[in-house]
């Protein structure tokens, strides 16, 4: 069963708030938004429509479990950026910060490419689940532990098209 958590209106308001904070901080500078696929595609498309700065977009996809030999926390890039980020203002756009392991690794990889600045914008933050020290620079909504879907976010590739964000009740997950 899906239990509604955030309505479409609450998400819209949150995205507009994040966009206005980003606009304030960057004046008229160009920003390269890096969407972490797949979960962040809807969030990023709404976010950039609210930001007036000149902007570019790019996409990156990583897998946390490249193969059985890799320990948790090591990521494999399965789709890399096409843009050279050297000297650019880069904004990583992520759907959810959970343990923080994914973003910590992505941040390390991108910092080696010498961006002018590198910030994180996350729609949702499960702060209590953090395993490594990492913070979003622009964070929308803090949530408790629990598995959420909708607004681009999936459970086994399902539910990405829901306009609102819901919690997946444990009984649904157990049936899989
Ligand atoms: P982390 O490396 O543990 O921070 O994991 C972050 C990633 O796990 C997010 O980008 C999501 O793709 C995924 N994730 C974490 N929590 C959820 C959830 O509740 N629903 C769907 N995906 C999630
Ligand atoms: Mg993700």
Cβ(151)–Cβ(140) under 8 Å?
A: no
Residue 62 structure tokens = 């990583």
Atom nearest to 94 CA in ligand 1? 10
φ, ψ of residue 135 in degrees (nearest 5): -125, 145
Ligand 2 mean position, distance from CA 95 (Å): 6
pLDDT at 174: 65
Nearest to 38 by CA among 76, 80, 95: 95
Give the pLDDT score at 64. Answer: 80
Going from the Cα of 141 to the center of ligand 1, the distance in angstroms, rounded, reads 14
Q: Evaluate whether 37 touches 60 at the Cβ level (below 8 Å).
A: yes
pLDDT score of 70:
44
Tell me the pairing of strands 117-125 and 138-142: parallel
Catalytic residues: 98
Rounded Cα distance, 64 and 74, in Å: 6
Counting ligands in written order, which one lies closest to the CA of residue 135? 1
At residue 65, the pLDDT reads 64
Query: pLDDT tens track of the chain, all 176 residues?
Result: 999 999 999 999 999 999 999 999 999 999 999 999 999 999 999 999 999 999 999 999 999 864 454 456 678 999 999 999 999 999 999 999 999 999 999 999 999 999 999 999 999 999 999 999 999 999 999 999 899 999 999 999 999 999 999 999 877 666 55
pLDDT value, residue 112 = 98
Ligand at shortest distance from the CA of 148: 1
Indicate if ligand 1 lies below 6 Å from the C-beta of 39: yes
The pLDDT of residue 91 is: 98
What confidence score (pLDDT) does residue 21 get? 98
| CA-based nearest residue to 6, from 122, 129, 142, 155 | 142
Mutation test residue for ligand 1: of 95, 105, 126, the one with most atoms within 8 Å of CB: 95
Closest ligand 1 atom, residue 149 Cα:
20
Q: For residues 18 and 120, what is the distance between their CA atoms, to the nearest angstrom?
A: 11
Q: Determine the pLDDT at residue 173.
A: 64
Q: What is the DSSP string of 46-109?
A: HHHHT--S-EEEEEEEEES-SSTTSPTT--EEEE--SS--TTSEEEEEEEEESSSHHHHHHHHH
* Closest of 129, 62, 53, 65 to residue 91, by C-alpha: 53
Residue whose C-alpha is closest to residue 43's, from 119, 5, 95, 103 = 95
């Amino acid at each position: 069963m899906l239990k509604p958590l955030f309505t479409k209106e609450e998400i819209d308001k949150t995205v507009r708030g994040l966009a206005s904070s980003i606009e304030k901080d960057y004046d008229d500078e160009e920003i390269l938004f890096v969407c972490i696929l797949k979960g962040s595609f809807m969030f990023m498309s709404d976010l950039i429509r609210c930001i007036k700065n000149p902007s570019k977009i790019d996409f990156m996809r990583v897998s946390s479990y490249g193969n059985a030999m890799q320990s948790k926390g090591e990521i494999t890039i399965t789709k890399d950026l096409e843009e050279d980020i050297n000297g650019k203002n880069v904004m990583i756009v992520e759907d959810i910060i959970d343990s923080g392991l994914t973003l910590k690794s992505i941040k390390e990889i991108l910092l080696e490419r010498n961006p002018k600045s590198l910030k994180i914008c996350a729609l949702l933050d499960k702060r209590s689940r953090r395993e490594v020290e990492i913070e979003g620079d622009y964070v929308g909504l803090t949530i408790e532990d629990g598995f959420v879907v909708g607004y681009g976010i999936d459970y086994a590739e399902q539910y990405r098209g829901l306009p609102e964000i819901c919690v997946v009740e444990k009984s649904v997950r157990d049936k899989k």
